[in-house]
Amino acid sequence: MKTVIDSGKGKRLLQLKPLFEYRELTMMLAFRDFKVRYAHTWLGVLWAFVQPISTLLIFVFVFHRVAGISSGSIPYPVYTMAGVSAWSFFAFVLSQSGQSIISSQQLVTKVYFPRLIIPISKALVGFIDFGIALLILFALMLFYKVTPSSNIVFLPLIVLMLLILSFAVGIWFSALTIRFRDVQYIIPFMVQIGLYITPVGYPSGSIPKKYILLYHANPMVGIVEGFRWCLFGDPLNATYFIISVAVILLLLITGIIYFTAVEGSIADIV
Q: Which of 11-15, 149-153, 257-261 has the highest mean pLDDT?
A: 149-153
HSE toward the beta carbon, residue 159, CA cutoff 13 A: 16
Does residue 3 belong to any structural domain of this protein? no
Specify the pLDDT at position 70: 82
- Domain of residue 97 covers 16-269
Span of 105-119, 151-165, 207-221 with lowest mean pLDDT:
105-119
Does residue 5 belong to any structural domain of this protein? no
- What confidence tens digit (pLDDT) does each residue in 231-250 have? 999 989 999 999 999 999 99
Residues 97-118, mean pLDDT to the nearest whole number: 68
Using an 8 Å Cβ cutoff, are 226 and 202 in contact? no
Does residue 47 belong to any structural domain of this protein? yes
User: What's the total number of domains in the chain?
Assistant: 1
Does residue 11 belong to any structural domain of this protein? no
Nearest partner of 151 among 225, 218, 56, 79, judged by Cα: 225
Residue 53 or 185, more confident: 53
Residue 109 or 181, more confident: 181
| pLDDT band, very low/low/confident/very high, at 5 (cuts 50, 70, 90) | very low
**Dihedral (C-alpha) 38, 42, 46, 52: value to the nearest 10 degrees?**
-80
Does residue 2 belong to any structural domain of this protein? no
Does residue 1 belong to any structural domain of this protein? no
Span of 18-32, 159-173, 240-254 with lowest mean pLDDT:
18-32
- Nearby residues of 38 by Cβ (< 8 Å), 6 or more positions away: 44, 45, 47, 48
Residues 85-108, mean pLDDT to the nearest whole number: 78
Residue 81 or 179, more confident: 81
**Residue 201 clears pLDDT 60, i.e. is over it:** yes
Does residue 82 belong to any structural domain of this protein? yes
| pLDDT band, very low/low/confident/very high, at 1 (cuts 50, 70, 90) | very low
C-alpha distances (whole Å) from 31 to each of 22, 35, 61, 164, 165 are: 14, 6, 35, 20, 22
Residues 84-112, mean pLDDT to the nearest whole number: 77
Please give the Cα distance from 146 to 149 (Å, whole number). 9
Please give the Cα distance from 167 to 12 (Å, whole number). 19
Does residue 119 belong to any structural domain of this protein? yes
Please give the Cα distance from 269 to 227 (Å, whole number). 40
